[in-house]
Structure 1
Amino acid sequence: MRRPRLQDVATEAGVSPATVSLVLRGSPGPSSGTRERVLDAAARLGYRPDRAASLLARRRSRLIGVVMDVRSTFHAQLVEDVHEAAEEHGYDLVLSTVTRTRDEGRAVETLLDSRCEALVLLGPNAPAARLSALARQLPVVAVGRPVSADGVDVVRAADDEGVAQAVEHLAGLGHRRIAHVDGGRGPIATARRRGYERAMRRRGLGEHLQVVGGDPGEESGARAARTLLGSDVRPTAVVAYNDASAVGLLDALLRRGVDVPGEVSVVGYDDSPLSRLAHIDLTTVSQDSAQLTRLAVAAVVERLDEGRTEQREVVVPPHLVVRGTTGPPTSS
């Protein structure tokens, strides 16, 4: 069956195609009666505007490309929030994923080939020079990562401050032997590790610094648990790089019969949907994903629709969400 066209709606409503176009765009001119006739005709015929053709005629795609790591539950939450914020401004998204076998460069190339007007990169790992080169082609917003790249807007949480809040919370409960499960070599992991080290020293706990190597995955937390449990002096609390690592840590502790938070308190980072599950109930640092994504989309809209040219960085204060995995130490 042939798809209804603009001319079909015009014939059905007894008006010109130009009038139908004005009504469907919500433009002034047609009377209320004419608008009602056109909308009724469009509904009866099942007419849907050819959005792609319309945008092409205006040389606009109104598509925002988003690069996400498919393995990250926090990125999944961010994408949901980006969708909502983009739709409020009349934009749609094209997603491109980073996987075990597909790197960030390939993901970006796919979005460029898809005629995206701007890129929102979630926790990008690309060097600053590569990001600057991209920004010379189209607006680029880096979410979650501090980066000094010419032309790139940055929207991020203060990661060092977030980890410091976790350390302060644990120290306030009476913990002194507080360890950190690292997230690897990336810039976000570096900021969180430095935040942990500075907070421990501010609290006079520098002699108890303990950083265990890891990565963003759950298995990293499980490996860290085995390392920590094998230490001569076990920590009474652990701050993990992210929620996934913290969940892996919790699982390994549970399997070894270690009570949480009785024997070991655990704090994650991201306040992902995983952390809120009743059987996990993880104390974690929230980055306020909705605020991060609103600001990221606003940065895109200011570039594309309002002509902003100056570079901008916005830092969103994180906050600790206390749940059931932290409590006072049972012994010093």
Structure 2
Amino acid sequence: MLHEEICRGEAQVGNGGSAHHQNGAHKRPRLEDVAARVGLSTASVSLVLRGVPGPSERTRQRVLKAAADLGYQVDRTASTLASRRSRLLGVMVDIHRPFHAELVEHLHTAAEEVGYDLVLSTQTRTRDEHTAVETLLAFRSEALILLGPTAPADTLATLDNKAPVIAVGRRISDAALDVVRTADDDGVGQLVDHLVGLGHREIVYVDGGKGVIATDRRRGYRTAMRRHGLDDHIRILHGDHTEAAGERAARKLLEGDSLPTAVLTYNDPSAIGVLAALARAGVSVPGEVSVAGYDDDALSRLSCFNLTTVSQNAEEQARHAVTAAVERLDQDRTEPREVVLAPRLVVRGTTAAPA
């Protein structure tokens, strides 16, 4: 029972404290102590405690229980210095992007399966991409997995000389780098196809601002509209990746003489901003206006939003990114590789035929 273990732990701490005062020393459990407890070699025990694949599940449970009973804690600093390998993958993440959080969760799983761990460094409104990357290098990250990097291609190429760089989510055509992304222009095209198939013609796009990813999605909108002969209906509103941008765009539409029948946005948070502004104005979705986002992040799946969107398959992107890093680090691959995954339309309750 958990409460019994806690009681035992408190008793041991108390006894240890008196022993410390009486004997002048408190012995810290070592790796050898854990190995002796389970009757295995220190090498086998080390594999389990580092999460490296190989030992059976039964062995793993025995080792973890013995380590817990003895109060053994892995000295990561010592083991890192001893091996001269940190086995750490540095991940740069923008904390304002829900899709990045999903990627990180899947990156953790994929990294642990191959005996690596992650170090996270965040971009915020006051902490730029350069600072985030320098922090990852300071923590001896062996490879860098950068989520939606915005730095110029030549800057990323220079960084790749310090540690292998895997750019996730962004097309990089003018530098020899590893890239894992989805075909963003095709994803937005699928949304336009879906809406046109429902009968929409007045389809407005809320842009994502600067950057390669925003450029690709904007191009996807233009191309798809032209493919359907809707050149005269192309309309792009200024925006970015935030809910606030979606709200501003929706207010601009509400101030006009008439509303479009459909609104596409750069990403899901922006679409949620559009939904919020329309709801406050008493405009029904999808009755009067259909709305669609991009990314299929966790918020889009909530029943209160039930947002039509495009899935980038975060789990598959994460696995390809970790595989690319491991190939560079452990298999001496030097040729850059680009993995382009097919996006997938996810139809939910915010799109319907126009009234």
2:99 aligned partner: 74
1:141 aligned partner: 166
1:23 aligned partner: 44
- Residue 269 of structure 1 aligns to a residue whose secondary structure is coil
Matches within 5 A, 1:221-240: 221-240=246-265
For the 8 Å contact 1:159–1:191, the answer to whether it is kept is yes
For the 8 Å contact 1:128–1:147, the answer to whether it is kept is yes
1:278 and 1:26 mapped to 2: Cα distance? 43
Say if 1:42 and 1:183 are closer, same or farther in 2 by CA, change over 3 A: closer
User: Aligned-pair distance for 1:148?
Assistant: 2.9
User: Aligned-pair distance for 1:129?
Assistant: 1.0
2:211 aligned partner: 186
Could you tell me which runs of 5 or more consecutive residues in structure 2 were left unpaired when the two chains were aligned.
1-25, 49-58
For the 8 Å contact 2:294–2:310, the answer to whether it is kept is yes
For the 8 Å contact 1:136–1:151, the answer to whether it is kept is no
For the 8 Å contact 2:246–2:272, the answer to whether it is kept is yes
1:217 aligned partner: 242
Candidates 307, 327, 332, aligned match of 1:282: 307
Say if 1:49 and 1:311 are closer, same or farther in 2 by CA, change over 3 A: same
1:200 aligned partner: 225
Given the alignment of the two structures, is residue 254 of structure 1 paired with residue 303 of structure 2, yes or no?
A: no
Partner AA of 1:21 in structure 2 = T
User: Aligned-pair distance for 1:13?
Assistant: 5.3
1:320 and 1:300 mapped to 2: Cα distance? 29
Q: TM-score, normalising length from structure 2? A: 0.85
Q: TM-score, normalising length from structure 1? A: 0.91
1:318 and 1:14 mapped to 2: Cα distance? 48
For the 8 Å contact 1:131–1:149, the answer to whether it is kept is no
Could you tell me which runs of 5 or more consecutive residues in structure 1 were left unpaired when the two chains were aligned.
28-34
Say if 1:22 and 1:200 are closer, same or farther in 2 by CA, change over 3 A: same
For the 8 Å contact 2:203–2:235, the answer to whether it is kept is yes
Given the alignment of the two structures, is residue 3 of structure 1 paired with residue 31 of structure 2, yes or no?
A: no
Moved over 6 A (4+): none
Partner AA of 2:192 in structure 1 = V
User: Aligned-pair distance for 1:8?
Assistant: 4.0
2:15 aligned partner: none
CA RMSD of aligned residues (A): 2.1
For the 8 Å contact 1:177–1:235, the answer to whether it is kept is yes
Identity rate of aligned residues, in percent? 60
Candidates 137, 162, 182, aligned match of 1:112: 137
2:288 aligned partner: 263
Count of aligned pairs: 318
